[in-house]
Structure 1
Amino acid sequence: MKQPFERVVKAHGLSVLRVCRALLDEHRAQDAWSETFLAALKAYPQLAEDANVQAWLVRIAHRKAIDELRKHKPESMQSEVEPRTINGAAGPAQNLENLELWQAVKTLPEKQRLVLAYRYLGGLSYAQIADVLSGTPEAARRAGADGIRKLRSQMGEEQLPGATS
């Protein structure tokens, strides 16, 4: 039996928001998050009981983020990335590190950026990422490893929290 939709939102809301934030600025990420759960609410009754709900939601979030990007001109997306933390406020040094990390992530090719967002922010496995991106787990793992390698070469390994392959 499927759990009530409110529990789905509570269980996966933060992961979906992290994915949206990796692709969009704060305001648009909130919009994409809302649109994700509105679409999911409509489709949830038809979702198979054995479906991977988190991967399903991440796929919807990915599409909603793309929709948000398409709504706005590229020049409006060039605003400075806001430094964020996952658990509470950051100090000035942490804010600077976060800003540098987000700016470095922005320079990665799209597939690498998406794989890293889904893996480290969304918590998806490489098999789930492959489903979302319509590829293979091996290709997702390779894109993730390549992205981490590029970030390490740009920033130094000590500045990449939790980034183990």
Structure 2
Amino acid sequence: MSTRSRDAPPFESVVEQHGPMVLRVCRALLGPSPDADDAWSETFLSALRAYPALPAGANTEAWLVTIAHRKAIDVVRARQRRPVPVPDVPEPPRHDAPEAAGTGIWQQVAALPPRQRQVIAYRYLAGLPYSDIAAITGGTAAAARRAAADGIAALRRTLSTSEESR
């Protein structure tokens, strides 16, 4: 296994080229929050340490998305361990109220099951092929394709329902 040659692009150019895509993926998985920005930073810190050992022919984009995926999982696990203080227990939302339908696509994406949300982010934001998505998330390319199709179908149903209620 050969490692990066001396004529490999400097890491700064990797960040410049792939940074916006990795940030979009982090935000799709974690929402537009400081956690997504932290996951982006952690992704590139880890990538910086591992970059010299990256094989010369490796798909840098898929490699970075894999790291971002793992960092997002770490953030989700950390969120689950943290207590969330609230002044008052909120009233549960009424599903028959017009406000419950949501106002934007990101709310609808956030409501998808985690696997569908991940596959949609990797496919449509990062542009990765299903084989790379399967390697990142575990499973087969066919399962990734099915999760993407199910997620898109759910988004279409949800968005058409919210349009009809207006």
**TM-score, structure 1 normalization:** 0.76
Structure of greater Rg: 2
Q: How large is the RMSD of aligned CA atoms in angstroms?
A: 2.2
Residue of structure 1 aligned with 2:45, choices 33, 38, 41: 38
SS at match of 2:146: helix
C-alpha distance after superposition, 1:77-131 (max 9, x if no partner) = 9xxxxxxxxxxxxxxxxxxxx9521111122111111000111112211111111
1:73 CA displacement: 3.4
1:74 CA displacement: 7.2
Residue of structure 2 aligned with 1:4, choices 6, 10, 31: 10
Note if 1:114 corresponds to 2:118: yes
Counterpart for residue 146 of structure 1: 150
User: What stretches of structure 1 move > 6 A for 4+ residues in a row?
Assistant: 74-77
Contact in 2 for aligned 1:20/1:65 (Cα 8 Å): yes
Identity %: 56
SS at match of 1:156: helix
Residue of structure 1 aligned with 2:79, choices 72, 75, 80: 72
**TM-score, structure 2 normalization:** 0.76
SS at match of 1:135: coil
* Structure 2 alignment gaps of length 5 or more: 1-6, 85-101
Tell me the matched-pair count. Answer: 138
Amino acid at match of 1:138: A
Cα gap change, 1:30/1:99 in structure 2, threshold over 3 Å: closer, same or farther? Answer: farther
Q: Quick one: distance in 2 between partners of 1:13 and 1:113?
A: 20
Counterpart for residue 89 of structure 1: none
1:147 CA displacement: 0.5
Q: Quick one: distance in 1 between partners of 2:140 and 2:108?
A: 25
Counterpart for residue 82 of structure 1: none
